Structure 1
Amino acid sequence: MSDRRLDDSEMATWLPTIRFVQLLPQVLDRTLKAETGLKHSHYAILVTLAGQGDRAIPMTELAQIAGLSRSRLSHAIDSLEERGWVTRTSCSSDRRTLTAALTEAGRELLRTAAPVHVAQIRALILDPLTDAEREQLGAILAKLTPGVAAAL
């Protein structure tokens, strides 16, 4: 790795990026908690499980998809399970493998939380951008995400 400093142009890109990356989760978390009592990180887990239909997903796979450490995911699933939004069971083919699935109560919570989340994403990210800018942002993030994910 090079130890050279970022030049002015690089800093002009990096500083707003890091500020945005730090602020967005806080804003999303605050709004979802206020409107639904749900943390944004928990919402992301529930949405991931909902995307699996009725299939229970192995915890290791869920951690990868959600971008969480296994420990952090386990604590989140504990909390979601206590509230009746998720069930956790041992895999039928390998008792050592734990799986998680969304409950009907979890689906109902998502039906309530999704409009709040979507409205906020539109207001904060999508609506201020033109169609071309949204396309550019999507392409840029799709290009950067694999390298960040691989570094985890």
Structure 2
Amino acid sequence: MIEIERKFLVTSETFKNEAQKSTRIIQGFLNTDPERTVRIRIRGEYAFITVKGIGNISGTSRFEWEKEIDVSEAEQLMLLCEKGIIEKIRYEISLGNHTYEVDEFFGENKDLIIAEIELEDENETFLKPDWLGEEVTGNQKYYNSQLSKKPYTTW
């Protein structure tokens, strides 16, 4: 239940040529407190409720609990979410032993593209594609919960 991930800005859209899959995601937050965010997500034909805890000092690891729920339940819970619904397309790109999840944001976060990679260990090595830019792991302004409150287009 501990999630270890690193986040990077993406420097070009060439990642789309490498994507094996893409899925539309809509998500909102019932709670955006950094110590315990509660997210509702509709991902394609599936929906989830997720609770995330506060991250460690580097921002690479934090508690995460997720449970699948009915899409109809998620749609009802979205009505209770805080202001600022996130809309994005997630592209999945396999590279070596890992999969990058690249999120292209829309709406008030348009023009923002972030890549995430989940790891087994904080010090694990991984391949870095040419389109991977500056690392933003641990920078809270890039957390979806914060993007819902202070969108990228307002920076």
What is the TM-score when the length of structure 2 is the normalising length? 0.28
Which has the higher Rg, Structure 1 or Structure 2? 1
TM-score by length of 1: 0.29
* Larger RCO, structure (CA 8 Å, separation 6 or more): 2
Q: Quick check: which one's strand share is greater?
A: 2
